[in-house]
Chains A and B, each alone.
Chain A
Amino acid sequence: MNEMTPTKSERAAALKGLGTSRKRVEDSRFTQGKGNYIDDIKMPGMVFGDFVRSPYAHARVKSINAEKALELPGVIAVLTAADLEPLSLHWMPTLAGDKQMVLADGKVLFQGQEVAFVVAEDRYIAADAIDLVEVDYEELPVLVDPMKAELDDAPILREDIADQKAGAHGARRHPNHIFTWEQGEKEATEAVLSGADVVAEETVYYHRTHPCPLETCGCVASMDKVNGKLTLYGTFQAPHVVRTVASLLSGIAEHNIRVVSPDIGGGFGNKVGVYPGYVCSIVASIVTGVPVKWVEDRMDNLMATAFARDYWMTGKIAATKEGKITGLWCHTVADHGAFDACADPTKFPAGFMNICTGSYDIPTAYLAVDGIYTNKAPGGVAYRCSFRVTEAAYFIERMIEVLAIKLDMDAGELRKINFIKKDQFPYNSALGWEFDSGDYHTAWDKAMKAVDYDGLRKEQAERVQAFKNGETRKMMGIGLCHFTEIVGAGPMKNCDILGMGMFDSCEIRIHPTGSAIARLGTISQGQGHATTFAQILASEIGISADDITIEEGDTDTAPYGLGTYGSRSTPVAGAATAMAGRKIRAKAQMIAAYLLEVHDNDIEWDVDRFVVKGAEERFKTMKEVAYASYNQEIPGVEPGLEAVSYYDPPNMTYPFGAYVCVMDIDIDTGEHEIRKFYALDDCGTRINPMIIEGQVHGGLTEALAIAMGQEIAYDEMGTHKTATLMDFFIPTAWETPHYETDFTETPSPHHPIGAKGVGESPNVGGVPAFSNAVNDAFRAFGVNHTHTDMPHDHWRIWKTARDLGMHD
């Protein structure tokens, strides 16, 4: 081998494949202001739509008078439910099997609900026209508290289905009740609880919040009446599903609809749902014959498009006096708002809440979730998590802490006693999941060592003493969390949305000169798919990631897929990418064998080429094979080099992690200071460490927001109290701590490259870590004090200190 011949490791490095902190290819356009987001799209003749929204949480709509609005120059149309009814579009199905008003049909059920759609020449005229639409409301009693939904004097919200005794998810016991979902063994769990040495009980409220991406939701609908084609640009996390739904709703054949997700300015679950704005824009474009743009403002976004969480979780956890957990019981009241528009796989009305046994070997468990209607916005999306997994992780990680108090044990030690052991994987949980792989003890020990856990506890004990001596007013909390996620929905045997199986896809086309394009059914919203999927493929097919274009989001060109949410892109579409790459390689091997004049079995893959076994100086690179595939007649082999894979995952993936938050809180002001945050993540095979760390930083900051201040709050009239960024907390750089990241690597045994997904882990694990730190700071003060609800804003922390007599 001469000096100019690159070594095997040099050739591998040149691919920029798996494990490389490859710089992002997306960043050139974003750093130069050349992204193409929904509001950047302009089309000739385009007009603007905007909504008249309800000021009331519950009211009858007696009349709508648009005359004055229509007289305003520049106003083109005002659509109401009466206009949509002949098209049967005044209501639309939700992803959860319920239906939702597109425009108010006789009544409104939440403040901010869409009442009329104004179409005007520009957004200023549309705003003026909104003020001119006269709506006569008759206020009705409001239901805000889901616990009061089934009382005798509760107003009935959904008169349209008041008589239906069963919904999409089984029996309904009251007009305001949506479903009851039960998992596990009720009687066996109750038997364990009644015979247990110790039972700890707590009600844990995971408050209502909102994904609030920096870019709001929006679309541009353009009906080309000449060719009968509808093009719909929009902030869609699942563009292919939107196309199918748009076809089913509008009656336009699916091949005549093109849905395009352009660059998306963050999604976090907010952009999964189908919203009235999309339907109204499509109708308005059909009616007016010109393109119609609708983009929410921030208030619209926080008031009307999908919220997250709002789970009231009551738990009982049983253990031996030594701390071995014997059973877990959970009842959840889920506040779904006015319409059940949760974005969950159909068979899981409470998402994967049944992952609530967490990282622990709990032999017996029972979960029941009751979905309830209230006069609040619909939604219930997975805000940077897989379906209801943050709720589940928060619940179990709080219950562990409560149990530790009851047992008078160290909460870290209690976790260790109960972790599922490495040799128990694949592990079948009491609530029905098969955890694919894990090594929790190794991760936990690494985390405890990294933060000097024993040292921290010692310091905390000294701080408590100092407080008692009157030497400090700052308490110290150590927030522990070991979470297990369930992501990558999902196997078609149990995962579908509106009947569409939750596979995903990748289609690869190798060009004659040895570069390639791959298209996927997913869509990046900041995750860096164009960078990382090229890396997966580079390692599979031996073409440098720099020579591979990744394209997503255009339903006319990309293969059908279920989109990006629930950390499913890497587990599902990433797997499809690897599998399609392997098909490319299989065909390439036949071509290479022919070119090398040997049998297929006499050559083997070597980074970026096929070599003759035992004679590695005889080889053909993938680039050479690509050229030959198009330009040389090869007997028995079709020309070209393309492949497609639709991947139905055999199981979910189960990323996990160990987080530690060290927080000082000032009991007189309620302010907090995060001294340390250590995050160890195990997401299986690591594709791009730089991007993984970035995802962890971002997810932790969203967790910080949720735990420490962010909430969607309503008053007793159902008036939204947090509809601007003044009231809805988003941390700035100033409030955000520095994070230390770490990892272990336990590959998924069923994923082609062993990857599990990471985007949502930091939110799932971060929220309990922050909240546990606050609660832990008060552990030494009050025997019966086991829990305070989030968000832990200054007032609530101050109030806890006061209630515990610490201000005396």
Chain B
Amino acid sequence: MSKMHIKMTVNGKSVETLAEPRELLIHVLRERLDITGPHIGCETSHCGACTVDMNGKSVKSCTVFAAQANGADVTTIEGLGTPDNLHVLQEMFKEHHGLQCGFCTPGMITRAHRFLQENPNPTEEEVRFGMAGNLCRCTGYQNIVKAIMAAASEMNAAREAAQ
């Protein structure tokens, strides 16, 4: 099958690759670009393990063609923090035991990152609703919710301090 030339910005870097028109974004990220943070849990857009940020919105990259991401700005878990400077969500997931097997975690944190921009002051109920597109089999969500609430207050405190 003939291939398409696809250009994207991924985690702030310009990337180019060839991919078949039918290839899914998650496969291009993982197989062609070696970005293996986003995972494959269902390939039917139910589990959210493949969640990435595309042009300022959370998308499940298993149901986006790579062709649709041509020209897009994509952020994955790899783009959120560095080993020396973790994103506050990464810190809070560690602090509050918001993960166990870790398989849902990249998608979960990437979604939470977008969610807190959509709603910087969420109630617990709003977190639970806003995160309902991401499944976790290990944690029962309680500590994920706790981590996201804690991250929200840290981020808000940092914003206030900066103002």
Contact = CB atoms under 8 A, between A and B. Distances in A.
A39 B135 contact: no
A615 interface: no
A32 B129 CA distance: 24
Interface residues of B, number: 58
A697 B140 contact: yes
A370 to B, nearest CB: 32
Given A32-B90, A725-B46, A739 B142 contact: yes
A31 B109 CA distance: 8
A297 B50 CA distance: 14
Nearest to B131: A733
A698 B35 CA distance: 28
B86 A32 contact: yes
B102 A736 contact: no
Interface string B63-90: 0000000000000111001010010001
B118 interface: no
A215 B93 contact: no
A458 interface: no
A213 interface: yes
Interface in B28-43: 30-31, 34-43
Contacts of A31: 77, 86, 90, 93-94, 99, 102, 105, 109
B156 interface: no
Contacts of B81: 32
A690 interface: yes
A694 interface: yes
Contacts of A263: 101-102
Given A32-B78, A32-B90, A214 B101 contact: yes
A214 B137 contact: yes
Nearest to A694: B97
Interface string B15-31: 00000101100010011
Contacts of A151: none
B132 A733 contact: yes
A266 B138 contact: yes
Nearest to A725: B46
Interface string A344-386: 0000000000000000000000000000000000000000000
A423 B37 CA distance: 53
Given A214-B136, A697-B140, A725-B47, A690 B40 contact: no
Given A32-B86, A739-B142, A298 B41 contact: yes
A67 interface: no
A125 to B, nearest CB: 9
A23 B47 CA distance: 26
B77 A724 contact: no
Contacts of B38: 33
B100 interface: yes
Contacts of A34: 37
B127 interface: yes
Interface in A11-54: 23-24, 26-35, 37, 39-40, 42
B54 to A, nearest CB: 16
B10 interface: no
A724 B63 CA distance: 15
Interface of A: 23-24, 26-35, 37, 39-40, 42, 122-124, 212-216, 263-266, 268, 295, 297-298, 525-528, 690-691, 693-702, 724-726, 730, 732-734, 736, 738-739
Interface of B: 20, 22-23, 27, 30-31, 34-44, 46-47, 49, 76-78, 81, 83, 86, 90, 93-95, 97, 99-106, 109, 127-129, 131-145
24 contacts: A23-B94, A31-B94, A32-B37, A32-B81, A33-B77, A33-B78, A33-B106, A39-B36, A42-B34, A124-B22, A214-B137, A265-B102, A266-B100, A266-B138, A268-B137, A297-B43, A694-B100, A699-B140, A701-B139, A724-B44, A730-B47, A730-B137, A732-B128, A732-B135
Given A31-B94, A32-B78, 17 more contacts: A24-B94, A27-B94, A28-B83, A33-B36, A33-B78, A214-B101, A697-B139, A698-B137, A698-B139, A730-B135, A732-B141, A733-B127, A733-B145, A734-B129, A734-B132, A736-B128, A739-B142
